[in-house]
Structure 1
Amino acid sequence: MADDRTGPPSDPGPPDEGREQRPAPARGTILTRLGSVPGVRAATAYRREWLPKDVVAGIVLTTLLVPQGMAYAELAGLPPITGLYTTILCLLGYAVCGPSRILVLGPDSSLGPMIAATVLPLVAADGDPGRAVALASMLSIMVAGIMILASVAKLGFIADLISKPTMIGYMNGLALTILIGQLPKLLGFKVDADNLVGECVGLVRKIADGAVVPAAAAVGISGIVLILLLQRLVPKVPAVLVMVVLAIAAVTVLDLGEHGVSLVGELPEGFPPFTLPEVRASDLAPLVGGALGIALVSLADTISNASAFAARTGQEVRGNQEMMGVGVANLAAGLFQGFPVSTSGSRTAVAERAGARSQLTGVVGAALIVLMLLLVPGMFRNLPQPALAAVVITASLSLADVAGSVRLWRQRRMEFLLSVAAFLGVALLGVLPGIAIAVALSVLNVFRRAWWPYATVLGRVAGLEGYHDVRSYPRAERLPGLVIYRFDAPLFFANAKTFRDEVRRLARTEPRPEWIVVAAEPMTDVDTTAADVLEELDEALNADHVHLVFAELKDPVRRKIEAYELTRTIDPRHFFPTVESAVAAFRRRTGAEWTPADPRRAAPPGEDER
């Protein structure tokens, strides 16, 4: 992760000539501390010419923030108004503590199912919306605490726990889960189910029973088609806003509410009050589990989006401050009846295209939403629920990465299978178990590579310096009685026996080798378990008149081997600084000459063969 040095581009400002020179405030004073806050630092470096662009971008951004905020709140199983509360507070919180100039935070389609999976089982008994809001707010505060602690501890690397293949599978599973979950709302009915399979069965049964509301289906399906067409043909037009306006107009003109179309209704008037959410002690454990999963996904999303937009704007990624900014945004949302948030690539792209230059864009968006709630809270009373479902479904389609899955199938089947496993984990077990499976698979894949690393025999190739993989150069020459073996991993408890078995196999090849030279440059460590295995291996080889020799062993690893007292069995003279010096020593000892490769002398199995 890059170091923490991002901010607005440096602006030297006017020269200091003629200015009164004042001593800088003492280190640790209030002024110094305030100056380290990203929002304060951005405000002091703000350029006047940015103001019109930020205001216009804020207006444009608001057209997307409002319908998406309401839609993603319903995706999380919460009242639509909480999506607007969340949007307001997270934008303000990130503007103060977030390091990125234009990154936009808010309710997110990838977090919605995770919030619902955490909160809804806890309110299933009474279905109280107020309790659901309190639980979601506490969840947001917990996510904030995790992110802030991770920032202080500089744990941004945790985002790397999810590999790209498993993230592709997880997002594909999430997209399918969202799609199936929103189809009933799109078609005008409800399905009660606890998992994706149950939702699919319920969906088919309801359709077969004639539960589809034609007017609702017409609004929802036309909304999806309109959004996708506008996004493809005229991407600069706010497709979601156009669809929402037309849907409200259709409801008003055709009185669709009387034809079975469910409407959002009147939103509460005014700004959300400061609220400390009250939850039961029995709710804390499930909330912590959900918060950990949400924090991990939010962190990975934030780092990837921050990296992408920082590269385009000439900034550097400040991972730990990004975590702090997202943590503060979640804290602000949680204290004002909001729910967990993350960065949004789509909304950030809209702000960037609209000319955003700073976080003032988000502040303008938050202010406009507040004015809407104060002055025209009834603006969205005729917004049909199928239109919100259309917003969520089109967002879910952007989560899926079918092309990435196809690329994995073509390039590396093992990683494709990992992706499929993550997909099935989300689809069959649920969103929260799915993220746990995705992390576990990523970690296990790393462990698998260390357990069975690539290993090969090396030979001399005419016209090339050094020694090379005999798989790539089947005609590479070898010295009779000598095998050069490379094991591309640190030697530790999990792979020590794999190393031992491969060396034993090489020792039994014909003609029998006298020396097995381990090209040990890739070995960055040898632990105590591996040291014991090496000692037993060397004794067994010596009994067969075969010597284990090491070349290019790193000094720290050599010191560990000496500390393990392995030189009692491995001859200290069998450690060479380079493979060339080991080969030269063997040739002086035996007089061996290079010969063409013998096809019967097989190399150990490599990664692709396993």
Structure 2
Amino acid sequence: MGWVPPGVRTLRDYRRDWLAKDLIAGIVLSTLLVPQGMAYAELAGLPAITGLYTSVLCLLAYAVFGPSRILVLGPDSSLGPMIAATVLPLVAAGGDPERAVALASVLALMVGAIMVLAAVARLGFVADLVSKPTMIGYMNGLALTILVGQLPKLFGFSTDAKGIPAELDAFVRALADGRTVPAALAVGIGCLALILLLQRLLPKVPAVLVMVVLAIAASVVFHLDEHGVHTVGRLPEGLPPFTVPHVSLGDLGTLFAGALGIALVSLADTISNASAFAARTGQEVRGNDEMLAIGAANLAAGLFQGFPLSTSGSRTAVAERAGARTQLTGVVGAGLILLMLVLLPGLFRDLPQPALAAVVVTASLSLADLRGTRRLWRQRKAEFWLAIAAFLGVALLGVLPGIGIAVGLSILNVFRRAWWPYSTELGRVPGLAGYHDVRSHPRAAHLPGLVVLRFDAPLFFANAKSFRDEVLRIVRHTPRVRQVLLAAEPVTDVDTTAADVLLELDAALQEQGVQLMFAEMKDPVRDKLARYGLTRTFEPERFFPTLEEAVLAFRLRSGARWTVAQDEE
């Protein structure tokens, strides 16, 4: 039998007692999808209605292709600035909403195509390209970017500045010029405070929904539009229109670069959320299947005037708390949004724009991970500075360069660890079996004339010379060395460059009357040495299956006795 979409398999196994829970969860979820969808669309520099189109199409597509039963997709606060950074520079001066929507739709199609092709090629592992410290720094920078970008909306005005330094400067100048709209500021701060208080004091209450209802009521009762407060206005009526977006060929390069970054962040976010919720439900995370589903959702959104999307931890948590059992929850949520667009398009007409800004600001606060940053400082300073570098990359250079910096730093960190791996001498510790790090056990015993060295990395072109220099340094500073024994179990590979360096090292040691020996080298690594022709220099008697046998052979040959701190045992 051929491949069957996960949604079809779920439908075959659907249980009647799940229906009521999925329906209730879908109704609860829709109350969050609408205001967040509109807010995140505006965060991306797009009309609010596109956020609802995106929400509908991605929920329906993921219901068919999604392997997770309760994961919720939609417009995402972490992608909004990336979409804006990609699309808005390409929009003509003065801002053409239709062109912006077309560009964003093409961006979604590109993200979808990248995800689907990567899933077919089984490249789910690319999510691991961004380490947690650099992702923490990236998200902290993203949170600050979103917060600074929303400040003018909270105060009732707008600026054309781009980038945090310029935006802060423009914001302060606007305040000094008296452009603040008092009514808008009151609404924005009040909505922000209400959401934060409800989330803290009454976490089970849908804070965003309560805020939206009260903000609309205040707008109607106090005629806020007459006091300079901008509102959402009447949304277009009807179903999302099927549209094949058209853009110029000159825009495709910029869009593709943005799509790569968005796809990487979306994938990392999806795998993270899927893993977290799968652990609770006992499901297994299948990275390539998730990539295929996210790709299908982006393709669907791109063909109905939507924009790139991702999973949402907050909306998934709401669905889970409401009792969701399957992706029918998302279908119900999408159906209710469609009903609203057909029957009640004016429902959110009087919603103040500062209220949407408050939704985005609270989302930005949830992106920041100050606790994780402090933990990095306490536990590993090097990774803390990686996080800070990623943060500064986003804050000073922008969102898209920031994700490039985050990926680059993660890869460089891998090379750094392989380039300068941990290495140490080993000795015997009374009461402990085996041989142990002399740095952790300064009183460890050693055999005069023997250096037992462990090098914790594969030997390759980047670290081979540092390995050679470390061995020669130890020989120079250790009296009367006769043999260097490499505990080779951590050496999982030797490339051709490292093989040549081993020959050079052996020749240099031979000149000093020192023999290079190996213990516990893996068979695949020895096979590579044989292919490189090193077995003519490194005879079989230089290799030992265990450290114990190698040390015993040296003792029998030399008559050396174990010594601690220059004193005979």
Could you say which residue in structure 1 is the equivalent of 2:523?
555
Q: Which of 341, 351, 374 pairs up with 2:342?
A: 374
Q: 1:337-391: CA deviations, max 9, x gaps?
A: 0000100000000000000011000000000000000001001110100000000
Matches within 5 A, 1:471-490: 471-490=439-458
Structure 2: how far apart are the matches of 1:536 and 1:510?
20
Matches within 5 A, 1:34-45: 36-45=4-13
Is the counterpart of residue 594 in structure 1 residue 565 in structure 2? no
**Structure 2 gap segments, 5+ residues each:** none
Name the TM-score, length of structure 2 as normaliser: 0.99
Q: Which of 57, 65, 90 pairs up with 1:97?
A: 65
Q: Which of 114, 122, 134 pairs up with 1:154?
A: 122
Could you say which residue in structure 2 is the equivalent of 1:118?
86
Structure 2: how far apart are the matches of 1:598 and 1:126?
81
Q: Is the 8 A contact 1:516 1:546 kept in 2?
A: yes
Task: Tell me by how many angstroms 1:568 deviates.
Answer: 2.8
Three-state SS of the structure 1 residue aligned to 2:453 is strand
Structure 2: how far apart are the matches of 1:192 and 1:138?
24
Structure 2: how far apart are the matches of 1:309 and 1:274?
33
Could you say which residue in structure 2 is the equivalent of 1:310?
278
Structure 2: how far apart are the matches of 1:574 and 1:587?
15
Q: Which of 133, 157, 171 pairs up with 1:189?
A: 157
Task: Tell me by how many angstroms 1:569 deviates.
Answer: 2.7
Could you say which residue in structure 1 is the equivalent of 2:190?
222
Could you say which residue in structure 1 is the equivalent of 2:290?
322
Structure 2: how far apart are the matches of 1:478 and 1:99?
57
Matches within 5 A, 1:212-251: 212-251=180-219
Structure 1: how far apart are the matches of 2:97 and 2:479?
78
Structure 2: how far apart are the matches of 1:420 and 1:483?
40
Could you say which residue in structure 2 is the equivalent of 1:521?
489
Q: Which of 53, 56, 72 pairs up with 1:88?
A: 56
Q: Is the 8 A contact 1:270 1:374 kept in 2?
A: yes
Q: Which of 458, 468, 485 pairs up with 2:426?
A: 458
Structure 1: how far apart are the matches of 2:228 and 2:478?
82
Could you say which residue in structure 2 is the equivalent of 1:584?
552
Structure 1: how far apart are the matches of 2:257 and 2:172?
33
Could you say which residue in structure 1 is the equivalent of 2:379?
411
Q: Name the aligned partner's letter for residue 569 of structure 1.
A: T
Could you say which residue in structure 2 is the equivalent of 1:177?
145
Could you say which residue in structure 1 is the equivalent of 2:437?
469
Could you say which residue in structure 2 is the equivalent of 1:506?
474
Could you say which residue in structure 2 is the equivalent of 1:68?
36
Task: Tell me by how many angstroms 1:559 deviates.
Answer: 1.0
Structure 2: how far apart are the matches of 1:315 and 1:567?
50
Three-state SS of the structure 1 residue aligned to 2:359 is helix
Is the counterpart of residue 284 in structure 1 residue 255 in structure 2? no
Structure 2: how far apart are the matches of 1:63 and 1:125?
36
* Matched-pair identity in %: 74
Q: Is the 8 A contact 1:539 1:569 kept in 2?
A: no
Q: 1:237-260: CA deviations, max 9, x gaps?
A: 100011011111111000110111
Task: Tell me by how many angstroms 1:272 deviates.
Answer: 1.4
Task: Tell me by how many angstroms 1:510 deviates.
Answer: 3.2
Q: Name the aligned partner's letter for residue 562 of structure 1.
A: A
Root-mean-square deviation over aligned CA pairs: 0.9
Is the counterpart of residue 432 in structure 1 residue 373 in structure 2? no
Task: Tell me by how many angstroms 1:512 deviates.
Answer: 2.3
Could you say which residue in structure 1 is the equivalent of 2:307?
339
Task: Tell me by how many angstroms 1:511 deviates.
Answer: 1.4
Structure 1: how far apart are the matches of 2:413 and 2:15?
48
Could you say which residue in structure 2 is the equivalent of 1:443?
411
Is the counterpart of residue 537 in structure 1 residue 505 in structure 2? yes
**Structure 1 gap segments, 5+ residues each:** 1-26, 600-610
Q: Name the aligned partner's letter for residue 146 of structure 1.
A: I
Q: Which of 206, 216, 221 pairs up with 1:253?
A: 221
Task: Tell me by how many angstroms 1:506 deviates.
Answer: 1.2
Task: Tell me by how many angstroms 1:39 deviates.
Answer: 1.1
Is the counterpart of residue 491 in structure 1 residue 459 in structure 2? yes
Three-state SS of the structure 1 residue aligned to 2:452 is strand
Structure 2: how far apart are the matches of 1:53 and 1:494?
57
Three-state SS of the structure 1 residue aligned to 2:516 is strand
Could you say which residue in structure 2 is the equivalent of 1:209?
177
Name the TM-score, length of structure 1 as normaliser: 0.92
Structure 1: how far apart are the matches of 2:428 and 2:282?
46
Structure 1: how far apart are the matches of 2:519 and 2:525?
12
Could you say which residue in structure 2 is the equivalent of 1:12?
none
Q: Name the aligned partner's letter for residue 62 of structure 1.
A: S
Q: Which of 110, 113, 120 pairs up with 1:142?
A: 110
Structure 2: how far apart are the matches of 1:186 and 1:316?
42
Structure 2: how far apart are the matches of 1:437 and 1:302?
21
Q: Name the aligned partner's letter for residue 240 of structure 2.
A: P
Could you say which residue in structure 1 is the equivalent of 2:263?
295
Q: 1:197-222: CA deviations, max 9, x gaps?
A: 10011111111111111000000001
Three-state SS of the structure 2 residue aligned to 1:491 is coil
Structure 2: how far apart are the matches of 1:214 and 1:58?
37
Could you say which residue in structure 2 is the equivalent of 1:167?
135
Structure 2: how far apart are the matches of 1:124 and 1:467?
69
Q: Name the aligned partner's letter for residue 521 of structure 1.
A: E
Q: 1:438-476: CA deviations, max 9, x gaps?
A: 000000000000000010000000011110000111100
Three-state SS of the structure 1 residue aligned to 2:241 is coil
Matches within 5 A, 1:377-388: 377-388=345-356
Structure 2: how far apart are the matches of 1:220 and 1:598?
74
Three-state SS of the structure 2 residue aligned to 1:263 is coil
Q: Is the 8 A contact 1:422 1:438 kept in 2?
A: yes
Structure 2: how far apart are the matches of 1:124 and 1:569?
69
Structure 1: how far apart are the matches of 2:417 and 2:288?
29
Structure 1: how far apart are the matches of 2:57 and 2:540?
67
Structure 1: how far apart are the matches of 2:327 and 2:421?
47
Q: Name the aligned partner's letter for residue 112 of structure 2.
A: A
Q: 1:519-561: CA deviations, max 9, x gaps?
A: 0000000000000000011001101101111110000101111
Task: Tell me by how many angstroms 1:125 deviates.
Answer: 2.5
Q: Name the aligned partner's letter for residue 394 of structure 2.
A: V
Structure 1: how far apart are the matches of 2:93 and 2:174?
24
Q: Which is further off, 207-216 or 113-122?
A: 207-216
Task: Tell me by how many angstroms 1:598 deviates.
Answer: 4.9
Q: Which is further off, 199-208 or 567-576?
A: 567-576
Q: Is the 8 A contact 1:264 1:385 kept in 2?
A: yes
Structure 1: how far apart are the matches of 2:226 and 2:21?
43
Could you say which residue in structure 2 is the equivalent of 1:393?
361
Three-state SS of the structure 2 residue aligned to 1:508 is helix
Q: 1:305-343: CA deviations, max 9, x gaps?
A: 000001101111111111111111111100000000100
Could you say which residue in structure 1 is the equivalent of 2:320?
352
Three-state SS of the structure 2 residue aligned to 1:518 is strand
Structure 1 residues 204 and 510 mapped into 2: Cα distance closer, same or farther (>3 Å)? same
Task: Tell me by how many angstroms 1:132 deviates.
Answer: 0.2
Structure 1: how far apart are the matches of 2:538 and 2:172?
70
Structure 2: how far apart are the matches of 1:510 and 1:122?
65
Q: Name the aligned partner's letter for residue 206 of structure 1.
A: A
Structure 1: how far apart are the matches of 2:384 and 2:102?
40
Q: Name the aligned partner's letter for residue 435 of structure 1.
A: I
Q: Name the aligned partner's letter for residue 315 of structure 2.
A: R
